[in-house]
């Protein structure tokens, strides 16, 4: 018989309420032994929880029948007072109850997957939702959690099956009169899928950004005020500022939320020619990181000329130290002038990058879809150039279908599960 698992589903420590979740065939029996009897499915019941004749707590108890719970199994949730002592007492009691054991990290979600309540992409989205720190991340995780990847893959698979069936008919009827020429329709489907896969892969670059965060590099000559700006934006002393040129020798990273978008600000070493070996390495590293960033803020101080501005359409050029030398559009880290404008400008530019962002939020999804795309590309080649070899096209259709199944987790799940669930906390 399957183990019945239990865990604290809320965070440890003092709180208003703590939730203990019990899932498996012994869940109701354990609840009854604690004094929570006569539970009606999906209806909250207030019950005294009693161990060895002693009242431990009065709790709100919720029972979910098999098939209608998160895990798909018989589940009971106890909402107790958020007391560490109450929780500890109940958990140690559950441990002694026959057939019950503490859940491993992510085990509730794993059972939900095993019972088909979630597909693999939804499990990943759930991990992302729990980890979401910004609005954009929450929204994206929610979209995937609702099954959007699975639905899209389902539509694509239908097309693949249709094309495969058309070819199958031709191959089966090879000796007889072919009912009709299937090549035009197969070609149309294959080309449509190829374009759709391409589009999705293109759109997905920004989706990964929302999940993992954008990088914004602050660049400019030494002493233009890069570290001061970083500190002013973050509101704490994250980088050391000093008026000696070249103090920021490496790249300093600070994560922050800019208008709902997750952003890592990079404070880079001043870009200048130098003989100092260590500083030179810092400058090189800064250049390399800045090149890879999603957006570069190029700072100019009042004593500089508007030259040497690196080219690149995305760069935002900003004059600093407006308190020393007022100028339209300049900012001051000292007085805070222009910082609100700067934040909204950064946000607007990053948002433009993610508009129409795709669904494939993980490298794993993209790797799978790339395989499907390659299959469609070679199928196209074989259909459009010369003699169409239908057996080859059929093989490519199968390869694409297999890749989509991998993406959604219809197959090959076992190998992926441990990696995915290692990011889950116990009780989820």
The total of other beta-carbon atoms located within 10 Å of residue 42's CB is 11
Q: Yes or no: say if 37 and 102 are a contact pair by the CB < 8 Å rule.
A: no
Q: Yes or no: say if 266 and 216 are a contact pair by the CB < 8 Å rule.
A: yes
Q: Yes or no: say if 51 and 37 are a contact pair by the CB < 8 Å rule.
A: no
Contact between 242 and ligand GDP by CB under 6 A: the answer reads yes
The nearest distance, CB 227 to ligand GDP, in angstroms, is 3
Stretch that binds ligand GDP, among 95-103, 172-180, 215-223, 396-404 (CB under 6 A): 215-223
Dihedral, 110, 68, 133, 415 alpha carbons, nearest 10: 20
The nearest distance, CB 258 to ligand GDP, in angstroms, is 19
Closer CB to ligand GDP, 252 or 360, in the complex: 252
Q: Yes or no: say if 112 and 118 are a contact pair by the CB < 8 Å rule.
A: yes
Distance CA(220)–CA(231), nearest Å, equals 16
Contact between 270 and ligand GDP by CB under 6 A: the answer reads yes
Contact between 241 and ligand GDP by CB under 6 A: the answer reads yes
Closer CB to ligand GDP, 203 or 323, in the complex: 323
The nearest distance, CB 321 to ligand GDP, in angstroms, is 4
Tokens standing for 379?
Answer: 């199928």
Distance CA(86)–CA(13), nearest Å, equals 11
- Interface residue with ligand GDP among 26, 137, 204, 248 (CB under 6 A) is 248
Which of positions 320-379 make contact with ligand GDP (CB under 6 A)? Answer: 320-321, 323-324, 332-334
Contact between 233 and ligand GDP by CB under 6 A: the answer reads no
Contact between 170 and ligand GDP by CB under 6 A: the answer reads no
Contact between 224 and ligand GDP by CB under 6 A: the answer reads yes
The nearest distance, CB 268 to ligand GDP, in angstroms, is 9
Stretch that binds ligand GDP, among 69-77, 87-95, 200-208, 221-229 (CB under 6 A): 221-229
Dihedral, 287, 288, 290, 291 alpha carbons, nearest 10: 110
Distance CA(404)–CA(319), nearest Å, equals 49
Contact between 278 and ligand GDP by CB under 6 A: the answer reads no
- Using the 8-state DSSP alphabet, how is residue 320 labeled? -
Provide the binding-site residues for ligand GDP, judged by CB under 6 A: 220, 222-228, 241-243, 247-248, 270, 320-321, 323-324, 332-334
């Amino acid at each position: 018989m399957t183990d019945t698992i239990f865990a604290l589903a809320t965070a440890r420590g003092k709180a208003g309420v703590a939730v203990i979740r019990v899932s498996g065939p012994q869940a109701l029996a354990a609840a009854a032994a604690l004094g929570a009897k006569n539970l009606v499915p999906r209806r909250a019941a207030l019950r005294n929880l009693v161990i060895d004749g002693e009242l431990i707590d009065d709790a709100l108890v919720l029972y979910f029948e098999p098939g209608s719970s998160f895990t798909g199994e018989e589940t009971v949730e106890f909402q107790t007072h958020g007391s560490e002592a109450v929780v500890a007492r109940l958990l140690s009691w559950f441990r002694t109850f026959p057939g019950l054991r503490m859940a491993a990290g992510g085990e509730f979600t794993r059972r939900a997957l095993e019972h088909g309540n979630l597909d693999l992409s939804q499990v990943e989205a759930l991990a992302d939702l729990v980890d979401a720190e910004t609005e954009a991340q929450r929204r994206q995780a929610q979209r995937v959690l609702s099954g959007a990847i699975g639905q899209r893959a389902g539509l694509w698979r239908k097309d693949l099956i249709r094309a495969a069936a058309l070819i199958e008919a031709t191959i089966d009827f090879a000796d007889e009169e072919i009912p009709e020429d299937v090549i035009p329709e197969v070609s149309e489907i294959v080309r449509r899928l190829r374009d759709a896969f391409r589009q999705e892969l293109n759109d997905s670059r920004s989706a990964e950004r929302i999940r993992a965060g954008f990088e914004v590099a602050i660049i400019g000559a030494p002493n233009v005020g890069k570290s001061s700006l970083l500190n002013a934006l973050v509101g704490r002393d994250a980088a050391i500022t000093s008026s000696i040129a070249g103090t920021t020798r490496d790249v300093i990273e600070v994560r922050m939320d800019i208008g709902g978008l997750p952003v890592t600000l990079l404070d880079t070493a001043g870009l200048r020619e130098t003989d100092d070996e260590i500083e030179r390495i810092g400058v090189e590293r800064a250049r390399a990181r800045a090149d890879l960033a999603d957006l570069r803020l190029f700072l100019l101080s009042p004593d500089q000329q508007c030259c040497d501005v690196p080219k690149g359409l995305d760069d935002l050029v900003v004059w600093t130290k407006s308190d020393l030398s007022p100028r339209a559009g300049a900012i001051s880290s000292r007085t805070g002038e222009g910082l609100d404008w700067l934040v909204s400008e950064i946000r607007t530019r990053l948002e433009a990058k993610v508009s129409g962002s795709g669904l494939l939020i993980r490298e794993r999804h993209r790797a799978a879809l790339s395989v499907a795309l390659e299959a469609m590309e070679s199928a196209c080649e074989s259909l459009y150039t010369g003699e169409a070899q239908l057996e080859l096209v059929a093989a490519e259709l199968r390869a694409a279908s297999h890749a989509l199944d991998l993406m959604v987790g219809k197959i090959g799940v076992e190998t992926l599960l441990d990696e995915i669930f290692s990011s889950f906390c116990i009780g989820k």
